[in-house]
């Protein structure tokens, strides 16, 4: 195993991730929404934390950063575009930069839409994607700063990754996302089977991450906004791919399922 990933649930429904490069022991934490559970987990593993990787500037992704820096001397990496509103960065990253975690290496993907400076981290060798609030399991982030076109481009970039790529997202929103997905795409057998599976996982108190890019392409209504059945339901037959996506995003914002 080149890169191990441990899920650390934070706050009400956030996920942070503890990454360890198996060859060097170099350790990072992705999106520390709060410090205490992360400090406990890092101490339990021997007290090494070399890096904090930030996907975007929202408080529920960065609030634990200062305390982790103080506790472990970790360095901080995040988007150069948002350096002015992220915790102080030791590495400021942009599209296609490489981030080395020991012998593991991530490609930085600019994935704006939820925020303008949002980045994702793709560890290509192990096939692990940390995409914050861009792509969720059967969902996507709200368009808080970016527009539909920016988010659609970001999602298309992620959807084009190898299907086996594991998707480690920023929140456990999956049950609500599945209800919305079923409302648009009720004949989709892959979606129906998956909705049953995620219900079972949540009933057992287990996370629904990681997903994979292949599963998302088969079941995520935002990635499938251009499918004929969804276009017909949304009234976007003949509309552009961006318009079709924007209509699904607006429908989700209104959805009370
Ligand atoms: Zn956010």
Q: Which residues contact 106 (CB under 8 A, 6 or more apart)?
A: 53, 98, 99, 121, 122, 123, 124, 130
The C-alpha atoms of residue 8 and residue 58 are separated, in whole angstroms, by 18
83 CA from centroid of ligand 1 (Å): 16
- Among candidates 152, 250, 168, which has minimal Cα distance to 210? 168
The per-residue DSSP string of 81-106 comes to: GGTTTSSPPSEEE-TT-EEEETTEEE
Q: Give me 86's structure tokens.
A: 């992220």
pLDDT digits (tens, 9 = 90+) for 232-243: 999 999 999 999
* pLDDT of amino acid 1: 65
- Residue 56: active-site member: yes
Confidence tier at 256 by pLDDT (50, 70, 90): confident
60 CA from centroid of ligand 1 (Å): 7
**Residue 238: phi, psi to the nearest 5?**
90, -10
Specify the CATH superfamily of domain 3-254.
Ribonuclease Z/Hydroxyacylglutathione hydrolase-like (3.60.15.10)
* pLDDT of amino acid 140: 98
23 CA from centroid of ligand 1 (Å): 32
Give me the residues paired with residue 10 across strands. Answer: 14
- Residue 118: active-site member: no
The domain spans of the chain are: 3-254
* pLDDT of amino acid 71: 98
Name the catalytic one among 56, 82, 118, 128: 56
Q: Which residues contact 32 (CB under 8 A, 6 or more apart)?
A: 10, 16, 38, 52, 61, 62, 63, 64, 65, 68
Indicate if the pLDDT at residue 89 is higher than 70. yes
Radius of gyration of the chain (CA): 18
The C-alpha atoms of residue 191 and residue 139 are separated, in whole angstroms, by 12
The C-alpha atoms of residue 214 and residue 226 are separated, in whole angstroms, by 16
Quick check: 248 and 234 in contact, CB under 8 A? yes
pLDDT digits (tens, 9 = 90+) for 17-66: 999 999 999 999 999 999 999 999 999 999 999 999 999 999 999 999 99
For tokens 């057992």, the residue is 204
Confidence tier at 146 by pLDDT (50, 70, 90): confident
* pLDDT of amino acid 257: 72
Residues flanking ion ligand 1, Cβ below 5 Å: 58, 133
How large is the average pLDDT for residues 183-187?
Answer: 97
How large is the average pLDDT for residues 86-115?
Answer: 98
* Cα 249 → chain centroid: 17
Name the catalytic one among 21, 31, 50, 58: 58
Q: Give me 4's structure tokens.
A: 């191990």
56 CA from centroid of ligand 1 (Å): 7
- Residue 147: active-site member: no
């Amino acid at each position: 195993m080149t890169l191990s990933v441990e899920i650390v649930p934070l706050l009400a429904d956030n996920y942070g991730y503890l990454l360890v490069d198996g060859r060097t022991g170099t350790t990072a934490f992705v999106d520390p929404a709060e410090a205490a559970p992360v400090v406990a987990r890092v101490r339990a593993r021997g007290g090494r934390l070399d890096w904090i990787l930030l996907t975007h500037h929202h408080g529920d992704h960065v609030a634990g950063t200062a305390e982790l820096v103080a506790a472990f001397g970790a360095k901080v990496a995040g988007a150069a575009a948002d350096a002015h509103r992220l915790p102080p960065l030791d590495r400021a990253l942009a599209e296609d930069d490489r981030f080395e975690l020991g012998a593991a290496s991530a490609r930085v993907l600019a994935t704006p839409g939820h925020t303008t400076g949002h980045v994702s981290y793709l560890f290509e060798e192990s096939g692990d994607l940390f995409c914050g609030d861009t792509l969720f399991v059967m969902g996507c982030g709200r368009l808080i700063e970016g527009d539909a076109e920016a988010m659609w481009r970001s999602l298309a970039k992620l959807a084009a990754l190898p299907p086996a790529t594991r998707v480690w997202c920023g929140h456990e929103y999956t049950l609500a996302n599945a209800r919305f997905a079923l409302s648009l795409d009720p004949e989709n057998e892959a979606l129906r089977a998956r909705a049953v599976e995620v219900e079972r996982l949540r009933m057992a108190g287990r996370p629904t991450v990681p997903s994979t890019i292949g599963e998302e392409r088969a079941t995520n209504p935002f990635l499938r906004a251009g499918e004929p059945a969804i276009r017909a339901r949304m009234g976007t037959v003949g509309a552009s791919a961006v318009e079709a996506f924007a209509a699904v995003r607006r429908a989700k914002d209104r959805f009370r399922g």
